[in-house]
Amino acid sequence: MKRTLYLKLLLGYALFGMLGFLTVSTLTSHMALNYIEKQTISSLYREANLLASNYASNYYRGTMTLDDVKSQFETVAAYLDTDIWVVDRNGNILINSQPDSAPNNAIQDFDISSFGTKYYQTSTFFDMFSEKMLSVFSPITINYKVRGYVLIHKSISDLVSYKDGFLNIAYLTLAIIFLCAFIVLVLFTFIVYLPIRRMTRAAKDYSEGNFDTQINVHANDELGYLASSINYMATELSTLEEDQRKFIANVSHDFRSPLTSIKGYIDAILDGTIPHDAQDKYLNIILFETERLNKLTQSMLELNKYGVRGSMMDITDFDINHTIKMVVQSFEGICKDKRISFELILTGQTCIVSADMSKIQQVLYNLADNAIKFSPPDSTITIETTEKNDKVFISVKDAGIGIPKDSIKKIWERFYKTDLSRGKDKRGTGLGLAIVKEIISSHNENINVISTEGVGTEFIFTLPMAQTGKEL
Ligand code: ATP
Ligand code: MG
């Protein structure tokens, strides 16, 4: 499996670290040195002014000796870690706080205008130093006349080492941020990346038809919700596959058994095993099986139509009482043979419902057919209609064999027949109630069954009353 997402994250993390380091080592370093330089210049300038006006001028006025001034300057220079000079206008060094650092007493080619308009410069100061220095000057003015200068020199390398000290703090901060980012990365790995990887693996398994894989993500967040949705989807898909397999097995079985018997009897007739005078009986069996196959095909085509729910519905307002009477009439012949009677308890003269009439006719036909098939001779089947809250409840009740408790949920499945009924009805395909269920569901209505084994069965379904039903 590709690990591109994680690789991208790791690359991003490494890039973040590199950019952070690069920024600190270039931009931060440059800005820090600038800042330190500026601060140093302004503090040294203040100091030079102070020394020029308070001490050096005293020397020129004759109120302090050169040695007194020198000893003061030496203290300040040691404190500031700088070199402090007093030079006259010609560049002769009168006071040097650190005489060893400058071997000459006179500055060659001294020219104060080399500072330009600024009061500081960065140089080796007329080659008086071997390294680069930051030099700040302040004139000593007596009676508005410049008599000399106080110069303070600070080594640039000192400033650089300040900056390095500061940068170390920046690097440490960066390292801590990097560590924090690493912790976030680890958390992200566990909270987001690993669950996503588990889901991707599961999805791959599903695409290969293996629906057993379950995703173990129990977080109470969007990912947890996604994982449980995928798990649910996988379970649904697997049952769908199972249903399909069962359906095909049932269809094949239901087609194969009549075909086998038809073929067997035809073979026997052709090769003379069945004598000529007995052929009628077997031809009738062949006819019976052919009719069964025909019914099976019809029912399957019918069920297939309901695959697309709600399609091909022809909703009209009609009298359900009338429809019930018509369906009952069509069973007259069979009822006479079995001595079964129908009792109709119908509300009002008419009861107008809004539904697809031919489909509801089929529902009634299938329910009545079952009631007759599974009722003993000399029994009564009751069909009742009641109105309640804009709905009409239609009940078909028989006193037949009933449905065992553990079969009650399965009777709606395609091809399902209870063991009890198999002996009574060999012609049944087990598709009748599946069709009934589809029709009622496509009307957005409900159907229920109440049954007690050996006592009887009642099917009750609802239909919407027509809006104009009450006036009619
Ligand atoms: P078909 O309707 O295709 O001729 P069928 O009647 O066997 O076949 P369904 O109408 O779907 O199929 O009924 C499914 C099963 O439910 C029946 O085989 C029977 O076992 C049981 N059943 C349905 N109605 C009743 C009833 N009124 N009394 C007892 N059992 C019933
Ligand atoms: Mg039936």
Band of the pLDDT at 472, cuts 50, 70, 90? very low
Using CA atoms, how far residue 366 sits from 195, 360, 369, 446, 462, in Å, is 51, 10, 5, 16, 16
pLDDT number for residue 471: 46
Residue 139 burial (CB count, 10 A): 18
Judge if the beta carbon of residue 135 lies within 6 A of ligand 1. no
98-151, pLDDT tens digit by residue?
A: 866 555 688 888 998 888 889 999 999 999 999 999 999 999 998 889 999 999
- The bound ligand whose nearest atom lies closest to the alpha carbon of 375 is 1
Residue listed under structure tokens 């650190």: 98
318-329, pLDDT tens digit by residue?
A: 999 999 999 999
Least Cα distance to 425 among 466, 368, 370, 381 occurs for 370
- pTM of the predicted model, to two decimals? 0.54
Residues 6+ apart with CB under 8 A from 21: 171, 174
Does the CA dihedral 357-360-366-372 come out positive or negative? negative
Q: How far is the CA of 316 from the centre of ligand 1 (A)?
A: 29
Judge if the beta carbon of residue 417 lies within 6 A of ligand 1. yes
Q: How far is the CA of 366 from the centre of ligand 2 (A)?
A: 5
89-108, pLDDT tens digit by residue?
A: 999 999 998 866 555 688 88
Residue 4 burial (CB count, 10 A): 8
Q: Which helix (H) or strand (E) holds 153?
A: strand 145-155
Residue listed under structure tokens 């030099």: 135
pLDDT number for residue 445: 95
Q: Across residues 293-306, what is the average pLDDT?
A: 81
pLDDT number for residue 4: 81
- With both helix axes pointing from N to C terminus, report the angle between 194-207 and 222-270 in degrees, rounded to the nearest 10: 10
195-241, pLDDT tens digit by residue?
A: 999 999 999 999 898 888 888 888 888 999 999 999 999 988 888 88
**Which DSSP category does 265 fall into?**
H
Residue type, 74: E
The answer to whether residue 165 scores a pLDDT higher than 80 is: yes
Q: How far is the CA of 457 from the centre of ligand 1 (A)?
A: 11
Rounded distance between C-alpha atoms, residue 322 and residue 344, angstroms: 11
Q: Across residues 156-168, what is the average pLDDT?
A: 94
Q: How far is the CA of 435 from the centre of ligand 2 (A)?
A: 9
Q: Which long-range contacts (CB under 8 A, 24 or more apart) does 190-197 make?
A: 191/219, 191/223, 192/223, 193/5, 193/6, 193/9, 195/219, 195/223, 195/227, 196/5, 196/223, 197/1
8 A C-beta contact, residue 408 and residue 421: no
181-192, pLDDT tens digit by residue?
A: 999 999 999 999
Judge if the beta carbon of residue 457 lies within 6 A of ligand 1. yes
pLDDT number for residue 381: 97
The answer to whether residue 412 scores a pLDDT higher than 70 is: yes
**Which DSSP category does 276 fall into?**
G
